[in-house]
Amino acid sequence: DAGITQSPRHKVTETGTPVTLRCHQTENHRYMYWYRQDPGHGLRLIHYSYGVKDTDKGEVSDGYSVSRSKTEDFLLTLESATSSQTSVYFCASSRSGPLNTEAFFGQGTRLTVV
């Protein structure tokens, strides 16, 4: 199994505060992704990275930013958390782009914005 870990696993934060979620992978995968999962919507791509310092927006990127300074780490920042960002966030990684190979997912971070 690919080694991919997320931290924290659970977080409660107040509206308007910045929040950073961390993802770490040990497989030397080039591609990394952040998804959110909400009832009725399934998994939706927020941002993805195709290399160190190379990132691009996904379907639901508004209000989120990402950074990737090392191959193994991918950070997701909620610049000013809102209640609509209450969700379960999943990080994933893959050897090559999403078009070709399967992705390996972390265990998820449950974020509650109050």
Partner 1 sequence: EDQVTQSPEALRLQEGESSSLNCSYTVSGLRGLFWYRQDPGKGPEFLFTLYSAGEEKEKERLKATLTKKESFLHITAPKPEDSATYLCAVTYGQNFVFGPGTRLSVLP
- Residue numbers at the binding site for partner 1 (CB under 8 A): 40-45, 59, 90, 92, 98-108
At 84, give phi and psi (nearest 5°).
Answer: -70, -10
3-state secondary structure of 65: strand
At closest approach, how far in Å is the CB of 16 from partner 1? Answer: 28
What is the amino acid identity at position 25? Q
| For partner 1, the closer CB: 39 or 84 | 39
At closest approach, how far in Å is the CB of 57 from partner 1? Answer: 12
| For partner 1, the closer CB: 54 or 59 | 59
Determine the straight-line distance between the first and last CA of the chain, rounded to whole angstroms.
Answer: 35
What is the amino acid identity at position 100? N
